[in-house]
């Protein structure tokens, strides 16, 4: 059983995590370029292709969540594993698709092979990173730059603040796409009939 001193220390750590992640999200508006953000919304809302996202590690969890969000707002999306991509999965990329590469540091070398293949296949390449001078940013058609500050992790190893900021960014993009494309409750009644949301829509 933890003693009072340990309990105080651990809860202070929890409060620090809450504060770091809340700050990273709250300051997105100060760091994200407005014109680039709106260009991303325009591209995604108008595309007739798919949204293909790729990332590694903790950022891959953000990418997979973004896939689910895009599918929810009528933008066909899927995740491509950087490990599987060079073993034939690059064949999923088609002309007109938007390939989105996510990497906080920009040093995710596993993403680099996607650049020439996506270019050759006729896809538009968007990189989301905190390193606009990185190889995956230089090879992209458009770069959306973040600055999430320090991670909550005392060793700066766990994706915490950066993951919260990345997910909030894609939430904002998806809601803007939804509003721009006039997606309303009738759409959600069709694609989201299950769970609490489905029950709410049936009652409404």
Does the pLDDT value for residue 201 go beyond 90? no
> Is the distance from CB of 124 to CB of 97 less than 8 angstroms?
yes
Domains located in the chain, CATH noted: 34-192 (3.40.50.10490)
- 3-state SS assignment for residue 143: strand
Instruction: Give 4-42 pLDDT, tens digit per residue.
Output: 999 999 999 999 999 999 999 999 999 999 999 999 999
**What are 54's strand-pairing partners?**
101
Confidence of residue 3 (pLDDT cuts 50, 70, 90): very high
H-helix or E-strand spanning residue 11: helix 4-26
Question: Span 176-184, mean pLDDT?
Answer: 97
> Is the distance from CB of 190 to CB of 52 less than 8 angstroms?
no
- 3-state SS assignment for residue 98: strand
- How high is the pLDDT of residue 104? 96
User: Is the whole model's pTM more than 0.75, yes or no?
Assistant: yes
Residue 187: phi and psi, rounded to 5, are -60, -45
Question: Span 154-165, mean pLDDT?
Answer: 96
Does the pLDDT value for residue 60 go beyond 90? yes
- How high is the pLDDT of residue 1? 87
> Is the distance from CB of 123 to CB of 111 less than 8 angstroms?
no
């Amino acid at each position: 059983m933890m003693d009072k001193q340990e309990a105080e220390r651990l809860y202070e750590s929890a409060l620090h995590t809450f504060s770091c992640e809340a700050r990273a999200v709250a300051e997105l508006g100060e760091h994200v370029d407005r014109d680039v953000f709106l260009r991303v919304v325009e591209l995604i809302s108008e595309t007739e292709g798919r949204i293909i996202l790729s990332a590694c590690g903790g950022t891959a969890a953000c990418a997979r969540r973004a896939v689910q969000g895009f599918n929810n707002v009528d933008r066909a999306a899927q995740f491509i594993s950087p490990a599987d991509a060079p073993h034939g999965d690059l064949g999923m990329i088609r002309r007109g698709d938007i390939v989105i590469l996510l990497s906080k540091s920009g040093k995710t070398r596993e993403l680099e092979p996607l650049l020439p293949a996506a270019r050759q296949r006729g896809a538009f390449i968007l990189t989301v990173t905190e390193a606009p001078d990185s190889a995956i940013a230089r090879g992209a058609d458009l770069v959306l730059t973040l600055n999430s500050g320090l991670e909550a992790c005392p060793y700066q190893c766990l994706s915490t603040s950066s993951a919260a900021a990345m997910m909030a960014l894609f939430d904002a993009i998806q809601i803007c796409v939804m509003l721009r494309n006039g997606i309303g409750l009738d759409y959600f009644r069709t694609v989201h009939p299950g769970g609490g949301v489905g029950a709410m829509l049936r009652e409404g």
